[in-house]
């Protein structure tokens, strides 16, 4: 059965909108936030979920379990047909509600604790230095994405999971299909099946060997071998970590570097180690690379921002504009690496807040500072208008970024 597609009208605008500046959310979102912060929009399938744009309302949605993250619930506003089909094909605990969500998340919490990630910092620093050595030895210009931004988080998450980095071309190509909203349903499902089968094989190997030397091994021995979860469920957890673990951080490294290079004074504060942590938080806030909103569906009637959201109605919590809320952030469109406080929702909020946020923070802190120190004259080797941005991807960023020094 083919869904009826309703056209957007001026009264019910289409979401997502086109950007006017590659570093800023669409101007229409700012106008909506100021004039009607909870309002209907039209998405790709003609459905009309509520768009939520103020930081307080976004936090309210993400903290309220009456708004379900279960993408199988009728009314859930999927990002695209391909993303919706893939998530139905490979259930992921991020698209579950408690207690199921908490059941799977609990198995991973210790792997991503502050203490565990602090222990990984020396490995991350060595990896950064090795990649920068490779850049320094290369002919200029160098594609920062291919040479540094993508390999760094890929190498780190592979080492954590126990996935051979030699297979990176395989999993990165499949990952690209999963985060591209233009992918066909068939391509997206095939890509997820390829990755799931690959990871199931690794889980089976760890189960047979009894090795607990990596995250997949600990899942296999402690949870699969005991019958607590299936191999497919362990592989699904690995799939989420593998894709999210490199897509988001890779794009933050490249896009954040590009933005810093537009402001030499702010970049110098990062290069000199004055405001590294602050720069990471500010770039996360400003860029919000998961830029198509957090998706939910109401399971009962809820009052939100003066509007009644009825049970079964979809909600898009637009973190990308909530992180520019002028009621919370002074001069919200300005890059200020010394901004404090900086209580953004780039990593989400509530029980579904990003599990890997501490890992991402450490990778970004090390990457930005080391890159700018090693190459103090770093510059983008192409006009900004020629940079290809990832507008159609679930994770925003740049496809390539030629740099020289």
Average pLDDT, the chain: 95
Predicted pLDDT of residue 62: 98
pLDDT digits (tens, 9 = 90+) for 195-251: 999 999 999 999 999 999 999 999 999 999 999 999 999 999 999 999 998 999 999
pLDDT range class, residue 9, cuts 50, 70, 90 = low
Q: How far is 245 from 403, CA to CA, in rounded Å?
A: 24
Q: Whole-angstrom Cα distance, residue 44 to residue 81?
A: 8
What tokens does 2 get? 């083919």
Measured CA to CA, the distance from residue 121 to residue 50 in angstroms comes to: 41
State mean pLDDT over 94-105: 96
pLDDT tops 50 at residue 3: no
Q: Is 115 exposed, middle or buried (0-12, 13-18, 19+ CB in 10 A)?
A: exposed
Residue 40, judged by CB atoms within 10 A of its CB (0-12, 13-18, 19+), counts as middle
pLDDT for res 267: 97
- Coil, helix or strand for 90? coil
Residue 129: per-residue pLDDT: 98
Listed in sequence order, the residues at least 6 apart from 84 whose beta carbon sits closer than 8 Å to its beta carbon are 71, 78
Here the tokens at position 215 are 């995250």
For the stretch 127-164, pLDDT in tens is 999 999 999 999 999 999 999 999 999 999 999 999 99
Q: How many other β-carbons are positioned within 10 Å of the β-carbon of residue 330?
A: 8
pLDDT in tens, 245-301: 899 999 999 999 999 999 999 999 999 999 999 999 999 999 999 999 999 999 999
CB atoms within 10 A of CB 175: 24
pLDDT of residue 1: 32
Q: How far is CA 169 from CA 72, 101, 173, 400, in A?
A: 31, 30, 6, 16
More reliable by pLDDT, 6 or 43: 43
Note if the bond before 257 is cis, omega within 30 degrees: no
Higher-confidence residue: 380 or 6? 380
pLDDT grade, residue 84 (50/70/90)?
confident
String of DSSP letters for 193-234: HHHHHHHHHHHHHHHHHT--SSHHHHHIIIIITTTSS-HHHH
Inform me whether the pLDDT recorded for 7 exceeds 60.
no
Q: What is the pLDDT of residues 122-135, one digit of tens each?
A: 999 999 999 999 99
Distances (CA, A) of 361 to 115, 118, 209, 274, 357: 13, 11, 33, 16, 6
Q: Mention every residue, 6+ apart, whose C-beta is less than 8 A from residue 188.
A: 82, 83, 85, 86, 177, 178
Q: What global pTM score does this model have?
A: 0.95
Write the DSSP symbol of residue 149.
I
Please give the structure tokens belonging to residue 97.
Answer: 């509600």
Read off the pLDDT of residues 320-371 as tens digits, 9 standing for 90 and up: 999 999 999 999 999 999 999 999 999 999 999 999 999 999 999 999 999 9
Looking at the predicted structure, is the pLDDT value of residue 383 above 90? yes
């Amino acid at each position: 059965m083919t869904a009826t597609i309703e056209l957007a009208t001026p009264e019910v605008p289409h979401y997502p909108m086109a950007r006017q500046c590659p570093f800023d959310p669409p101007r229409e979102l700012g106008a909506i936030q100021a004039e009607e912060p909870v309002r209907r929009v039209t998405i790709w399938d003609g459905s009309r979920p509520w768009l939520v744009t103020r930081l307080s309302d976004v936090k309210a949605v993400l903290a309220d379990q009456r708004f379900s993250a279960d993408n199988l619930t009728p009314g859930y506003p999927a990002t695209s047909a391909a993303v919706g089909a893939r998530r139905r094909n490979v259930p992921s605990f991020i698209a579950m509600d408690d207690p199921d969500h908490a059941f799977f998340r609990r198995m991973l919490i210790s792997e991503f604790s502050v203490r565990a990630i602090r222990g990984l910092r020396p490995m991350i620093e060595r990896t950064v230095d090795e990649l920068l050595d490779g850049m320094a030895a290369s002919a200029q210009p160098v594609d920062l994405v291919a040479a540094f931004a993508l390999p760094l988080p890929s190498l780190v998450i592979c080492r954590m999971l126990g996935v051979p980095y030699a297979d990176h071309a395989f999993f990165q190509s499949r990952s690209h299909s999963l985060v591209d909203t233009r992918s066909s349903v068939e391509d997206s499902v095939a890509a997820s099946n390829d990755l799931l089968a690959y990871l199931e094989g690794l889980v089976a190997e760890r189960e047979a060997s009894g090795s607990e030397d990596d995250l997949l091994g600990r899942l296999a021995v402690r949870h699969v071998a005991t019958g607590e979860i299936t191999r497919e469920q362990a592989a699904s957890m690995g799939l989420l970590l593998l894709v999210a673990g490199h897509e988001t951080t890779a794009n933050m490294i490249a896009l954040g570097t590009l933005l810093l290079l537009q402001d030499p004074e702010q970049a110098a504060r990062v290069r000199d180690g004055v405001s590294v942590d602050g720069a990471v938080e500010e770039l996360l806030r400003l860029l919000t690379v998961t830029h198509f909103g957090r998706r939910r569906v109401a399971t009962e009637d809820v009052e939100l921002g003066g509007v009644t959201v009825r049970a079964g109605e979809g909600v898009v919590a637009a973190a990308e504009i909530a992180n520019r809320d002028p009621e919370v952030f002074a001069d919200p469109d300005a890059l200020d690496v010394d901004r404090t406080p900086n209580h953004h929702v780039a990593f989400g909020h509530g029980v579904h807040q990003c599990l890997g946020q501490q890992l991402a923070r450490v990778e970004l802190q090390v990457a930005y500072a080391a890159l700018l120190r090693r190459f103090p004259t770093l510059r983008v080797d192409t006009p900004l208008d020629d940079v290809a941005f990832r507008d159609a991807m679930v994770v925003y960023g740049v496809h390539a970024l030629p740099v020289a020094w």
